[in-house]
Structure 1
Amino acid sequence: MRIVVAHNRYREAQPSGENTIVDAEIEQLTAAGVEVLPFLRSSDEIPSMSKAAKALLPISPIWAPKAQQELSDLLARHRPDVLHLHNPYPLLSPWVVRTAHRHGVPVVQTVHNYRQVCSSGLYFRDGVICQDCRGRALGVPAIVHRCYRGSRAQSALMATTLAVHRPTWKSVDRFIALTSAVADHLRDYGIPDERIVVKPNAIPDPGSPAPLGEGFLFLGRLSPEKGLDLLLEAWRRHPDGALGPLRIAGDGELRPLVEAAAAERADVTFLGPLDRAGVRAALDASAVVLATSTWHDVLPTVIIEALASGRPVLGTALGGIPYLVGADGPREPVGTGPAAAHSAVAGSGAAPTPLPAGTTPGEAGWVVAPEPAALAAALPAARAGAAASASAARARYERTFHPDVVTKRLIDIYADVARQATAR
């Protein structure tokens, strides 16, 4: 099987989980015997472009003629079975879908964000969830609020790109939704069920989990949408030391907030940014991992890392978090609150233990409404249930997020799409 993987890499100065996932997926596919033809561009190329090339940049999200010619040459030369698209902006453009179809090559796209509708891709603006552009022919609110790169002109360009390429996106042969919440987003956009498949990302197996540690770990970007304000307000509702340690790792604009919390309380430790060995040590030292996003976080990789390490997760009931911890039963559409509360300890195999109202158990953790009172009430319950849930967390990783499982699933998707294209 021969697959073209198309991706516009984000700038290296802007750490991107999407870049990491694409690189890992190429390695995993190659190891499984798939011939991968990378068609990669990087936003880091922009500063070194010629003046003529830079002059065309404003239209590149819509068309990107150079990329179309280069892709057309690649497709004619190698005749791949499928083109797998990740991020097309700004140097590839969604037009690559049309170019592939012109060559008779079916297209699969992994949906890493909400940019079919939202110019920023986040459904998040000014510290709160925003879906003002849903259902609009043109995302005028994105232009008014400068949602793309803080620029009204660039926001107008992106909103126009999304309007122009609505038929392009609806022609994609198969969408890979990373979670059930992304699948809901695609259905809301008008994509039929038969062209959506849920397949999460994978991370390498770190091996057998270390014995459970103590306390809680927050690991991620220190930015408003990750819910640090929410977490710290909930934590302060408990006496110093009552819940064991809270370790916070990462870097970002809210670093001063975290440093102040660590200076204020003996049970809060700021670890700063960590390398891979540091992440491993922090996971081993903890009992529960926190994912307190206040936006519809698509697929926070830290949750998969936690499950691989046998650590259950306490998260907010937003975006892909319920799916990751196995708490994504019947849900309201993206943008609404969680389902009604339940009572149980996830995966314990023991008699159910009552949970606070508003806490929903999952196979490998718990989710709560993104509210300080709900999170504060759930913290002691998660601490008490961590040991009983640890083995279920690891089992969910092995069954759902292990590279062997996920890569086989991806190859099956390619084969099905290629078979249907041949039949047509």
Structure 2
Amino acid sequence: MKVVVAHNRYREAIPSGENVIVDTEIAQLTAAGIEVLPFQRASDSIGDLPLVQKALLPISPIYGRAAQRDLDELLRRERPDLLHLHNPYPLLSPWVVRTAHAHGVPVVQTVHNYRQVCSSGLYFRDGHNCVDCRGKAFGWPAVAHKCYRGSAAQSALMATTLAVHRSTWKSVDRYIALTGRIAAHLKDYGIPDEHIVIKPNGLPDPGEPEPLGDGFLYAARLSPEKGLGLLLEAWRRHPDGSLGQLRIAGDGELRPLAERADAERGDVTYLGALDRDGMVAARTRASVIVAVPTWNDVLPTVILEAMAAGRPVLGTDVGGIGYLLGIGEPVEAAGWTVEPDAAALAEALPIARAGAAAVAPAARKRYLQAFHPDVVTRRLIEIYTSLIENSHPSPR
């Protein structure tokens, strides 16, 4: 089987779980004997593009001319069995779906966010969840609120892209929804049930967990929707030192918030942005991983990494977090969830610290049963095989 994996990589300066997942999936498929043809562009490369391509950047989300030319050549040369798309913005554009279909190549897309409808992809703005653009032919609210990169002009372009490509998205042969919530989002968008399968992401097995450390680790992009402000408000409701150490890893617009907490309290340490080895070390020193987004985060990679390392998670009950931790399922939960409220989170912090050792084995077990490569890669190959067997090779 020969598969093109198409992905526009997010900027490396901003940690991206999606980049990690794509790299991991490529490695897992290759190890399983699938011939993978990566077709990737990187947002970091925009500054080095030729002048002509830079001039065309404003329309690249609608139609990435250079990407379509290169993909056309790849499809002619390699004649793959299917194309698996992740993020198309801004350099690939959803037009890759049309290019693949012109060659009779079926398309799978993994849906990592809500970008079919929402210009920011988050269903979140101004500190609260927002679905103002849902059901609209054109996302005027996104333009009014400058939802895409804080720019009315760029938001108008993204809203136009989503309107233009509504038929493109509805032509995708199979959608991979990471959770039931994403499946519901796709159904609301008009995708038939038979075109949606649910398959979570997975991560490589890091091996048997190290003994638990002490304290809490928060590791995320330091942006409002990731919940750093919520966590620090809850943390300050406890006396300094009473919960052990809170370590904060990451960078972003709320970095001053983390630095101020570090300066004000002896039990808060800001670690800055960490590389992969640094993150492994920080997880090892912790007993509980904190993941407290206030938006409906689809499937946070930091939680997968925590469970793989045998660390329980204290999370907010939003998006796919409850599903990840097995909350409400007939399994022992891999952690705790609370409403995204400072009082509820403050109450849960000492409970999580006291219960970490007892819950840690369940975290590792949840990873092995639901998110290990042997499980998720086998499921992905089954999805590919089913699609190829039922696809029509003639161009559309």
What is the TM-score with the length of structure 1 in the denominator?
0.88
| Alpha-carbon offset, residue 328 of structure 1 | 5.9
SS in structure 2 opposite 1:421?
Answer: coil
Correspondence 1:159 to 2:171: no
Give 2:209's aligned residue. 209
1:354-383 alpha-carbon deviations (Å, 9 max, x no partner): xxxxxxxxx211111100111111122222
SS in structure 2 opposite 1:253?
Answer: coil
Give 2:70's aligned residue. 70
Give 2:270's aligned residue. 270
Structure 2 unmatched runs, 5+: none
Letter of the aligned partner of 1:144 in structure 2? A
CA distance in 1, matches of 2:70, 2:268: 52
| Alpha-carbon offset, residue 189 of structure 1 | 1.3
| Alpha-carbon offset, residue 12 of structure 1 | 3.1
Give 2:375's aligned residue. 405
Letter of the aligned partner of 2:378 in structure 1? K
Give 1:305's aligned residue. 305
Q: How does 1:15-414 map to 2 (within 5 A)?
A: 15-327=15-327, 347=332, 363-414=333-384
CA distance in 2, matches of 1:65, 1:275: 34
Structure 1 unmatched runs, 5+: 330-343, 348-362
Letter of the aligned partner of 2:344 in structure 1? A
Distance 1:418 1:129, change over 3 A: same
Give 1:336's aligned residue. none
Distance 1:417 1:29, change over 3 A: same
Give the count of matched residue pairs: 394
| Alpha-carbon offset, residue 194 of structure 1 | 1.8
CA distance in 2, matches of 1:20, 1:236: 33
Letter of the aligned partner of 2:342 in structure 1? P
SS in structure 2 opposite 1:290?
Answer: strand
CA distance in 2, matches of 1:400, 1:267: 34
Q: Which has the higher contact order (CA 8 A, sep 6+)?
A: 2
1:146-175 alpha-carbon deviations (Å, 9 max, x no partner): 111222111111101101111111111111
CA distance in 2, matches of 1:14, 1:231: 21
Deviates more, 1:110-119 or 1:240-249: 240-249
Deviates more, 1:159-168 or 1:68-77: 68-77
CA distance in 1, matches of 2:265, 2:12: 35
Distance 1:178 1:328, change over 3 A: farther
1:244-265 alpha-carbon deviations (Å, 9 max, x no partner): 2222222222222222223332
SS in structure 1 opposite 2:217?
Answer: strand
SS in structure 1 opposite 2:200?
Answer: coil
CA contact (8 A) 2:15 2:221 kept: no
CA distance in 1, matches of 2:45, 2:287: 42
Letter of the aligned partner of 2:93 in structure 1? S
CA contact (8 A) 2:230 2:342 kept: yes
Letter of the aligned partner of 1:182 in structure 2? I
CA distance in 1, matches of 2:340, 2:56: 43
What is the TM-score with the length of structure 2 in the denominator?
0.94
CA contact (8 A) 2:14 2:221 kept: no
Letter of the aligned partner of 1:67 in structure 2? A
Distance 1:210 1:45, change over 3 A: closer
Distance 1:44 1:255, change over 3 A: closer
CA contact (8 A) 2:14 2:251 kept: no
Letter of the aligned partner of 1:114 in structure 2? Y
Deviates more, 1:257-266 or 1:185-194: 257-266
